[in-house]
Every structure is written in structure tokens, then in C-alpha cells.
Amino acid sequence: MNVDYYRQRASAGLIITEATQISQQGQGYAWTPGIYTPEQVAGWLEVSKAVHEEGGIIFLQLWHVGRVSHPSFQQDGGLPVAPTAMPVPGKTFIVDETGRGVWGDIPEPQELTKSGIEAIIGDYVTAARNAIAAGMDGVEIHAGNGYLLDQFINSNSNHRMDQYGGSKENRARLLLEVTDAISREIGASRVGVRLTPMGRFMGMGDDTPEETFGYIAEQLSRRSPAYLHLVEPEIVGTVLDEHYDPRWDSIMKLLRERFKGPLILAGGFTYEKAQAAIAEGRGDVIAFGRLFIANPDLPYRLRTGARLNDPDSSTFFGGDSRGYVDYPALVETE
């Protein structure tokens, strides 16, 4: 079914996969995929083959949720990990004793040790190597949406006093070390990075976002990754962000100036808004998520001005083929 889903959407040109955990420790939601076992690598290889057969390009998104997890996902029922032992204001999707998916409380995490951080960097490298073995054209480092790398970046979730906390340079250190390590393993041209500046999902927030994310954009630009992927703050996670910050426009301009490579924008774009963003020079590429779930032939529909299927949000979390591979292509509805 996963192979069918990605094959249906291979006309995207570039597909960035769903978030895929780099380790068992990195899982935070029920029924999400990984890239750390031979069976997972074999499964993703079938996906990449299907996309390539249709002429598409596919990057695997590498994910560690950090504190946004639950003991049921952790080895030996342990606590999730985070830069600082601070609880997250939210819930995660777990499996109850009957096998049903339900929303469960997130416990207070344990603070990562230096050796724990080093192990996670190694897990990212292994995951990137596995992604290439699975036929992927590259990987995207998920450093946004309130997950582990974002937790290190933002000052309100990182209260460390060592080389990974305090200054913007220290809070960005883990992301840059992960980027460098993966780039050494598979090449910088195969590595993209996703950020969510100003996002509030999962309790994120930074005291000086212009300085923090401006520094990160500048440092990433020096490393020449394949692209930088920014999520505009209207959409963070799966809900509308009610805390839109008007500083976003100035931060976006700053990041555009600091990062010299290809810039991808995402965040609830319509076709008209996407065209405007490109025309205004705000970004080079526009990414679509929910619209692509509901419209497997989305590029054709946008080019021709055809009607769009509406996504069914009730099917977004787990389940079967409903809301996954059963959305009709345009030719099937005429």
C-alpha cells in the first residue's frame, strides 16, 4: 500500500517522504515508519523503485521526535529524551491495550547526556546510509515542528548549560553536527534541511528568532546542502497556528538573504498563493502536503485548473487504504 501511495504521486518531480524515525528511540507516534532495520530498508527500496519507474525523485525525511514520545515506544518502557527535562504541552498518538490508536499524555522526558547526543548523531548517519541503500536520492533532516532538533534550537525548550545550550551557536550545534556528519557520509548535495521558524507547535518558541534562525541559515548556506525547506507558520503540525507572529515576514526576508541555495516553502499553500510566492522571489519551490494526499495527480490538476479533491482529515492518523490510496485521479472521475 505504501508503494502504491508514492507511485501515485511520483509526478511531483521531488517527493519528500513522510517523517521517518532514525531509531526506536526516535519514534513518537503509532504506526510511523522507520529506517533502522533491514526490513524497513527493504520496504523503502520498493517505494524508491516505484517512484523511479515513474520518473520521480525521492528524498527520505529523517526524524527524531525527542520529548514528543511515550514510554510504550521506548526500549524497555523508558522515558523519552530531550535537551532539557521539561514536559511538552500536548499529546501523542499511541496504541491502547485493545490495539486501537488513541491520544495519550506525554510524560516529562529525561535530559540527554553528552554520550546520548553522540549516539543520536550516529543514528542519523546510519539512517542516512540506510536511506541511500534503500534507493533514495537523498535525505531531508527534519529540524522543525517541535521535534528533537527543534527542541535544541529553541530557547524555551533548551535550558542546557553545556556546549549544546545557551547561545544561538550552541543551540544550533546539534543540527549542524548532524548535517555535517550526514554530508560526510552521503554528500551535501543529497542533504536537505527542514526548519519551522516561529512555529509554536509542541510548545516551541525562541527569545530571539531573527538571530537564531538567521545564524542557522547562514551556517547551512556555507555547507551547500541540496536545499533549505521552510514551513510558514500558518500550518505547524496538523493544525492552524493561532499564534501567528507578524515578525515572520522580516524573518523570511532575512533567511532568504542568508541562505544562498534553493529555498522550498510549505504551509497550506493554494495554487494562487504558491504562484505569488514564486513571483515575489520568496522561494524557489513550493511544497504541498495535504492537497497532495487528496490529489495523487496534483501537478496536472494545478496546471490545468481542474477541481481538487478535499482531504478527509479523519483518515490522517493510521488506518487502512481509506484516505490513503483511494483518492481518485482526474482521469478516473471523468
Spatial separation of the C-alpha atoms in residues 61 and 47, rounded to whole Å = 14
pLDDT for res 90: 82
Q: Name every residue whose Cβ is closer than 8 Å to that of residue 278 and which is 6 or more positions away in sequence.
A: 284, 286
Q: Going from the N-terminus, what domains does the chain have, and what CATH number goes with each?
A: 2-288 (3.20.20.70)
- The closest of 151, 173, 148, 154 to 162, measured between CA atoms, is 173
Beta pairing partners, 192: 140, 227
Q: Specify the pLDDT at position 244.
A: 59
Mean pLDDT per 10-residue interval, the chain, length 334 residues = 93 96 98 97 98 98 98 95 93 90 94 98 99 99 97 97 98 99 99 93 90 98 98 56 68 95 93 94 94 93 92 75 83 55
Q: Of the candidates 316, 321, 329, 322, which has an alpha carbon nearest to the alpha carbon of residue 289?
A: 316
Whether 228 contacts 192, CB under 8 Å? yes
What is the pLDDT, as a whole number, of residue 237? 44
Are the C-beta atoms of residues 116 and 81 closer than 8 Å to each other?
A: yes
Q: 6 an active-site residue?
A: no
What pLDDT is recorded for position 200? 83
Sequence letter at residue 317: F
To the nearest 10 degrees (0 to 180), the angle between helices 173-186 and 209-223 is: 20
Categorise residue 229: left if φ over 0, alpha if ψ from -120 to 50, beta otherwise. beta
- The closest of 290, 294, 289 to 326, measured between CA atoms, is 294
Which of 6, 124, 147, 215 is catalytic? The answer is 147
Q: Kind of pairing, strands 91-95 and 57-63?
A: unpaired
State how far the Cα of 146 lies from the Cα of 169, in Å rounded to an integer. Answer: 19
Decide if 260 contacts 227 (C-beta within 8 A): no
| Per-residue pLDDT at 23 | 99
